């Protein structure tokens, strides 16, 4: 019976891991693919089945595919605690319907603050192999900017990110305004000094500008 060979993409799908994880295992000497004349990787099904064996899984320290799922929920301020609870309920209901073994992490802070207690706990679980998947209601609940970096870290540790709603989260437009104003404030303070009159003027003018835009949008929608 002829041996079946798979390319790296199909091999990763067979093992249910990312391509980068498969390459990392190769660097560690855990699996060695054959190479074609064009230097492309080829894996035998027997090799891949060996990787799925219990002893190999322990050696890799891989997270069980049926392992813990983390539902991550975030709002920007303590005044939005009611929204946080509703968000947590949506995520919990989704995880229950999917049959996940899950835990909810609630966080309060700006989407641009990467030192939030909940986010740091989440990343620690990812890096230490403490979860197999992250579930968020909207993409920006994880982070406002730098999502791709978080995604790359998760891929390297064989953790999936599942987003319940792929549409834009209209209810958080006010949060986005505050985040943009925070960026302006930081850069203005660096240019003119935190306590300078020019810095205060720029921040006040931009806050007023955003306020006018919000009122205009509200008027146009009515």
Taking the model in full, what pTM does it have? 0.54
User: So what's the pLDDT on residue 120?
Assistant: 93
The CATH number assigned to the domain with range 5-60 reads 1.10.1660.10
Nearby residues of 46 by Cβ (< 8 Å), 6 or more positions away: 3
171-221 folds as Helix Hairpins (1.10.287)
Buried b / exposed e across 93-120, counting CB within 10 Å, b at 16+? Answer: ebbeeeebebebbbbbbbbbbeebebbe
User: So what's the pLDDT on residue 89?
Assistant: 94
69-168 folds as Rossmann fold (3.40.50)
Tokens 């009515």 belong to residue = 222
Residues taking part in catalysis: 76
What are the domain boundaries of the chain?
5-60, 69-168, 171-221
Pick from 167, 104, 122: nearest CA to 140 = 167
Q: Are 76 and 111 in contact (CB under 8 A)?
A: yes
pLDDT along the chain (222 residues), means of 10: 81 86 81 87 87 55 60 89 92 91 89 84 88 91 85 91 76 58 65 66 66 50 46
Instruction: Name the token pair of 12.
Output: 């990763």
Question: 5-60 and 171-221 share one CATH topology?
Answer: no
169: helix, strand or coil:
coil
């Amino acid at each position: 019976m002829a041996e079946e060979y798979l390319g790296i993409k199909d091999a990763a799908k067979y093992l249910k891991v990312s391509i980068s994880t498969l390459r990392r295992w190769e660097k560690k000497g855990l699996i060695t693919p054959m190479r074609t004349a064009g230097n492309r990787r080829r894996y035998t099904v027997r090799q891949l089945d060996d990787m799925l064996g219990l002893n190999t899984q322990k050696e890799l320290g891989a997270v069980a595919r049926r392992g813990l799922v983390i539902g991550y929920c975030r709002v920007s301020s303590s005044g939005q605690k009611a929204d946080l609870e509703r968000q947590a309920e949506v995520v919990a209901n989704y995880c229950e319907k999917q049959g996940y073994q899950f835990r909810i992490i609630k966080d309060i802070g700006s989407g641009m603050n990467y030192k939030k207690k909940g986010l740091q706990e989440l990343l620690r679980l990812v890096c230490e192999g403490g979860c197999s998947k992250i579930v968020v209601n909207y993409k920006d609940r994880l982070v406002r900017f730098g999502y791709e970096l978080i995604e790359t870290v998760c891929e390297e540790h064989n953790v999936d990110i599942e987003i319940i709603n792929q549409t834009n989260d209209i209810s958080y437009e006010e949060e986005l305004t505050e985040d943009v104003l925070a960026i302006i404030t930081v850069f203005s303070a660096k240019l003119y000094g935190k306590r300078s009159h020019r810095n205060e003027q720029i921040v006040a003018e931009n806050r007023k500008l955003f306020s006018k835009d919000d009122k205009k949008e509200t008027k146009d929608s009515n």
